[in-house]
Structure 1
Amino acid sequence: MSVLIETSVGEIVIDLYVDEAAKLSLNFLKLCKVKYYNYCVFNLVKKNFIAQTGDPTCSGKGGECIYRVIDPQAQQFLRVETNNKLKHKIKGTVSMVVSKTQDTEGNKVNVVGSQFFITLQDELEYLDGDFPVFGQVVEGLDVIDKINEAICDEKGRPYRDIRIKHTVILEDPFPDPDGLQEPDKSPLPSKEILASIRIGEDEDLEQENQVDPEQLERLTKEKEAQAQALTLEMIGDLPFAEVAPPENILFVCKLNPVTRDEDLELIFSRFGEIKNCEIVRDKKTGDSLCYAFIEFASKEFCEEAYFKMENVLIDDRRIHVDFSQSVQKLHMGYMRERANQVSVGGDQKLEPRRQYRKYDEKGDKYSMVFDKSTLKSKNKYYMLFFSSFYYMLFFGAIVYSVVTDGLINELTI
């Protein structure tokens, strides 16, 4: 009468007290049988005290007995009595988490659902009488020690998830309750479980300290490249950061300086249609730089040329071929498309700037917002306004001169 519990930190085998705690043992075994505990997290770990789990909501407030799992109309919890003969004396004691409620007559009773805890040290007898014992860990005490050493937050939840991954019933003496159906495979985790993930069990906090220097340098360069690509995307130099090189362009190097574009195109054209063949040359002298890019009409033509032209002799030189890793053509096409856009931020869906001018859809130029007739009528008002303004300035200057001369004469007298 045992159950193997596979956790994210190791395996635990629990022997059940099927005679002394038959009702609790049956409830636990059947919950294991329907894979109810799969993905449940240890939501409460108190060092040198207990480790609690069994709540599929991962909140510590959920759970239900097997009869509620079978029939949604049944009672959520199971009423139990504590067996005073079973004690929390040694490490690894397994007990049910108890809730206290009132029955129909108003009496306080103990009820349990699916949550249980494992003691993490000896001599916890003060739990006796309040929490019913139903099992004992007989294998995997080292796993219990690992759980005990988990780093937890202020509420006792480990920062790194410790979960039940699987349960295997080694021996079950109880018949199945009516309506119980054992699933063919483990169910998928619920939304509550997925939302409860903190640091995954497979995430290594000290990964960088465990890799060799060469691998660490490679990872660092990859991160830097990703950051640089994202920067280029943000400023508009790349369409998107994860842009991949085209699959139909072949890179050819170690060419003879005398090899011409048309010669190279003729040689490679036997594999399929070529859209472009260009030997890269020095901008000033025009001399060949001994490498070229060949763009095929399809990916298949490019792959065939790659497999058959490696180390082939051309003009007394054995060439090397590889798939192009350059995104220059994609970049140039993107920049041309972006330059032709009349929009904000390079997005055709955004409107052009219209504060002072409006876009003339018939041509490529901008026209004034006001038409000519409107401008003529406005010009008349502008001329009248400026004429009046100049006259006012002229008469104001005369008045100012007269007043100033009078004040000076008074001060002189």
Structure 2
Amino acid sequence: MSVLFETSAGDIVVDLLVDYAPKECENFLKLCKIKYYNFAPVHSVQQNFSFQTGDPLGPTSESSDGGSSIWGILSGPSQKTFPATFHPKLKHAERGTVSMATAPHTSDPDVRLAASQFIVTLGDETDYLDGKASIFGKVVEGFDVLEKINGAITDKDGHPLVDIRIKHTVILDDPYDDPPGLREPSQSPQPSKAQLATVRIADDADLNEEVDEETAEKVRREREARAQALTLEMMGDLPFAEVRPPENVLFVCKLNPVTTDADLELIFSRFGTILSCEVIRDKKTGDSLQYAFIEFEDKSACEAAYFKMQGVLIDDRRIHVDFSQSVSKLAEVWRGAENAKRKRRGGGGWGGVQGLEKWRKYREEDDREDDNGRYSMVYGEEEMRGRHEKEGNKRNRGDDRPPPPRDLERERDGRRGDGGGEKRDWHREEQRRSRSPRRDKPRDPDRDRWDRGDDRRRDRPRHGDDRYRRDRDRDSDRDRNYRRR
């Protein structure tokens, strides 16, 4: 008794153990016969352990009931499940073991109920399932398909990102009689709308589909624009990343510097009511920057002006007209509203921090010069005043004074911790240092190591001379007496 599963990953042949689990085998065969498992998704994939299937809709569908046994389909929901049997000789010891998924009975935890879902092991020694899943078959062909399922890319819940589904079931041998009311369909049914709604990435989708260079560049630009918009939202320059520019605002550039707001409003007013018309000017000099924004009351009036005024001669200049891409006014309105809400709540500036708005930009909004004719700095007057006070306090404390010169006499006296022994050692060190020859300049070959000339060396007594011996003894006695002191 065998069943062939045609899946999107390949074919699997399952041999049924009718002598050990007759109830489970009958339920499984009859469900395959009515094509109940068609389009059922593979889910709960645990690598090197198991996967689960048998629910026509799968666990991702809100309308899924978890599946039903053949008797529940024929007789009603009261027989949706049946008590599972566990044969003591059947264990989950090898890969490809097929068993019914069970759940404990609500009133009797020792009884476990099965329906339509079944489990296929993907590894050996999966004894954790013993006593929890009722074994009724084993895979005899299609172990390469099990390897594909085992290596499928899944989400955190074990659902494959690319759908793996049962396409068709073929019964190779059926020893059971059909229960009353069972009718085998003449052909494999098409997936229902509820089943199609659970598709994530279709198994036949071409993931390596080649696109032309223009389309790929367009996709890349859209991704880059979304990333930049998200960055501006995090910085507070945009109210939200998906903000769009208004569709009733026209951008006009290449204006003559003598063109005024009233001139533009008079020329463009024939297309419709104008809410605002503003020529952008330099904040310090008031000179025109030769572009303007015109806001119409109606979107259709804005579109008409765009098509009619392109390249029109105004004050000896041919203007350029386009739809506005600026959202600065929307951002200012949103930012002002948000700040007003925070002030009403008493939470301070951005993020509940008091006075954080002044750190939004490097300079003040008006960029005016101070009384000395200098530009505004990054730090405000309060910060600079606090910094000057800190530096003045440090000078008063003498923190930045140079260190005093070393007092050698005091350092020598400080060595007398042991009754003058250290001082004597210091004297001996000075004496030894004074007796050592000078090494800071090259020695004259005509002079000895004590820098004495030839005439001095000629007057030096010989080693065998008595006077030399007397002088040597006198020097040694002097040194001995000095050490005693």
Class of the TM-score when normalised by the shorter of the 2 chains: 0.5 to 0.7
**Superposition map of 1:343-358 within 5 A:** 343-344=344-345
2:331 equivalent to 1:326: no
Q: Gaps (5+ residues) in structure 2?
A: 19-24, 61-65, 208-215, 349-485
Q: In 2, Cα distance between the equivalents of 1:31 and 1:345? A: 65
Question: What is residue 295 of structure 2 aligned with on the other side?
Answer: 295
For 1:3-41, what per-residue CA distance to the aligned partner results, in whole angstroms no more than 9, with x for missing partners?
Answer: 4334xxxx3334566998665222245463576x34x51
Partner of 1:321, secondary structure, is strand
Q: Number of residue pairs matched?
A: 299
Is the 8 Å Cα contact of residues 44 and 53 (structure 1) preserved in structure 2?
no
For 1:337-368, what per-residue CA distance to the aligned partner results, in whole angstroms no more than 9, with x for missing partners?
Answer: 67888832599xxxxxxxxxxxxxxxxxxxxx
* Correspondent of 2:10 among 12, 16, 33: 12
Q: In 2, Cα distance between the equivalents of 1:319 and 1:65? A: 76
Question: What is residue 77 of structure 1 aligned with on the other side?
Answer: 82
Is the 8 Å Cα contact of residues 98 and 131 (structure 1) preserved in structure 2?
no
Question: What is residue 209 of structure 1 aligned with on the other side?
Answer: none
Q: In 2, Cα distance between the equivalents of 1:41 and 1:226? A: 34
1:223 Cα deviation (Å)?
3.5
Partner of 1:280, secondary structure, is strand
The structure richer in strand per residue is 1
Question: What is residue 407 of structure 2 aligned with on the other side?
Answer: none
For 1:357-385, what per-residue CA distance to the aligned partner results, in whole angstroms no more than 9, with x for missing partners?
Answer: xxxxxxxxxxxxxxxxxxxxxxxxxxxxx
Q: In 2, Cα distance between the equivalents of 1:317 and 1:254? A: 7
2:250 equivalent to 1:250: yes
* Correspondent of 2:194 among 164, 170, 187: 187
Q: In 2, Cα distance between the equivalents of 1:177 and 1:45? A: 41
Question: What is residue 147 of structure 2 aligned with on the other side?
Answer: 145
Letter in 2 for 1:263: D
For 1:51-96, what per-residue CA distance to the aligned partner results, in whole angstroms no more than 9, with x for missing partners?
Answer: 34346558xxx654233355211150376899x9xxx9997x5723
Is the 8 Å Cα contact of residues 251 and 323 (structure 1) preserved in structure 2?
yes
**Superposition map of 1:8-407 within 5 A:** 11-15=9-13, 23-30=27-34, 32=36, 37-38=40-41, 41-46=43-48, 50-54=50-54, 56-57=58-59, 64-69=68-73, 71-74=76-79, 76-77=81-82, 93=96, 95-97=98-100, 112-118=114-120, 120=122, 131-133=135-137, 138=142, 143-149=145-151, 161-162=159-160, 166-169=165-168, 178=181, 185-187=192-194, 219=223, 222-223=226-227, 225-232=229-236, 242-334=242-334, 343-344=344-345
Over 3 Å counting, the alpha-carbon distance change for 1:184 and 1:344 in structure 2 is same
Q: In 2, Cα distance between the equivalents of 1:109 and 1:264? A: 85
Partner of 1:13, secondary structure, is strand
Is the 8 Å Cα contact of residues 310 and 321 (structure 2) preserved in structure 1?
yes
Q: In 1, Cα distance between the equivalents of 2:7 and 2:140? A: 12
Partner of 1:245, secondary structure, is coil
Partner of 1:293, secondary structure, is strand
Q: In 2, Cα distance between the equivalents of 1:176 and 1:279? A: 85
Specify the structure having the higher radius of gyration (Cα). 2
Q: In 1, Cα distance between the equivalents of 2:125 and 2:347? A: 71
Letter in 2 for 1:26: K
Of structures 1 and 2, the one scoring higher in RCO (CA 8 A, sep 6+) is 1
Letter in 2 for 1:65: S
Q: In 2, Cα distance between the equivalents of 1:238 and 1:275? A: 23
In the superposition, the TM-score normalised over structure 1's length comes to: 0.52
Q: In 2, Cα distance between the equivalents of 1:292 and 1:41? A: 59
Partner of 1:42, secondary structure, is strand
Identity %: 36
Over 3 Å counting, the alpha-carbon distance change for 1:301 and 1:2 in structure 2 is farther
Letter in 1 for 2:181: D
Partner of 2:307, secondary structure, is helix
Q: What is the root-mean-square deviation of aligned Cα atoms in Å?
A: 5.5
For 1:204-240, what per-residue CA distance to the aligned partner results, in whole angstroms no more than 9, with x for missing partners?
Answer: 9xxxxxxx999879756744542442452xxxx8766
1:252 Cα deviation (Å)?
1.2
In the superposition, the TM-score normalised over structure 2's length comes to: 0.46
Q: In 1, Cα distance between the equivalents of 2:112 and 2:336? A: 75
Q: In 2, Cα distance between the equivalents of 1:277 and 1:12? A: 67
1:275 Cα deviation (Å)?
1.7
Over 3 Å counting, the alpha-carbon distance change for 1:221 and 1:184 in structure 2 is closer
Q: Gaps (5+ residues) in structure 1?
A: 103-107, 205-211, 348-413
Q: In 2, Cα distance between the equivalents of 1:115 and 1:189? A: 19
Q: In 2, Cα distance between the equivalents of 1:337 and 1:284? A: 28
Over 3 Å counting, the alpha-carbon distance change for 1:18 and 1:269 in structure 2 is farther
For 1:160-203, what per-residue CA distance to the aligned partner results, in whole angstroms no more than 9, with x for missing partners?
Answer: 5227564433657998973889787142699xx99xx9xxx99x
